[in-house]
Amino acid sequence: MVQKLTAEQVKGEVLRFWNAFTDKAANQLMEFYAPESTVFSSVSNRSEPGRLAAARRQREYFHAKSSLRATVGAIDVILLGDTAAVASYTFQFHASKVASTLGHASEEDIRNGRATHVFALDPDGKVRIMHEHFSAIEKVVASS
């Protein structure tokens, strides 16, 4: 059980998050989010609960025909006391055969993504995402 967050630990959590995402580890991704967490995705104009965002990502990205890859840039961490921290960084993300609500597969390519994660220790000492905000300078989505 973690008693105090460190910058290195937060950087590790960011990398573990992206590994869970690109490995299509649905349960592991879901566990990152605190029950009260919020998410702004790169395409949404409103926030949604973190665990709902994880479920949506599972439906859209985690099927057998899709492929995912992500690259994370330098991660800056600001510690907010002993139990919370903000991580901000750039990322690149590519997904092929993304399932859409219209039933068409599409490609998603984020070349210049920006991310902010707010992490906090939960009562059990687990590091959880409290808030996530993704944005993209340019995002390419192509339907097939």
**Residue 81 within a domain:** yes
Q: What is the extent of the structural domain holding 54?
A: 7-143
pLDDT attached to residue 141: 55
Tell me, yes or no, whether 2 lies in a domain: no
Per-residue pLDDT at 103: 61
Length of the chain equals: 144
Give Cβ neighbours of residue 8 (< 8 Å, ≥ 6 apart): none
How many independent structural domains does the chain possess? 1
Q: What is the CATH number of the domain that holds 127?
A: 3.10.450.50
Evaluate whether residue 96 is within a structural domain: yes
State the pLDDT at residue 44.
74
Per-residue pLDDT of 22-37, as tens digits, reads 999 999 999 999 999 9
**Token pair 């995912």 is at which residue?**
68
CA 67 vs CA 105, 121, 130: distances in Å: 12, 32, 27
pTM of this structure: 0.89
CA 96 to chain centre: 17
Residues of the chain with pLDDT under 50: none
CA 60 distance to own-chain centroid: 14
